[in-house]
Amino acid sequence: MPGADTPAYLCPPDLLLRARQLGPLPVAVSAAAGVVLGAAVPIILTSRTNPPEATLTSVAVAQLIAAQPT
């Protein structure tokens, strides 16, 4: 079991599907995009079918959002 300091990546497919149904997301056009939620601790919603590059891009966006001063 991962410890409290170990990052966890959850990808519930139904939640991602619902987020994508909300309409166009304000992200750059790419093969796939994750949804980043949260302020201090970003939650990244991606699909297991996305290529690794898409997941890495979502993690990079989450890092940028987390680095913003609150």
Q: Band of the pLDDT at 5, cuts 50, 70, 90? A: low
Residue tagged 């300091």 (tokens)? 5
Cα distance between residue 17 and residue 38, in whole Å: 18
Q: Band of the pLDDT at 42, cuts 50, 70, 90? A: confident
For the chain, the structural domain boundaries read 32-70
Token output for 20 = 């994508």
Q: Band of the pLDDT at 21, cuts 50, 70, 90? A: low
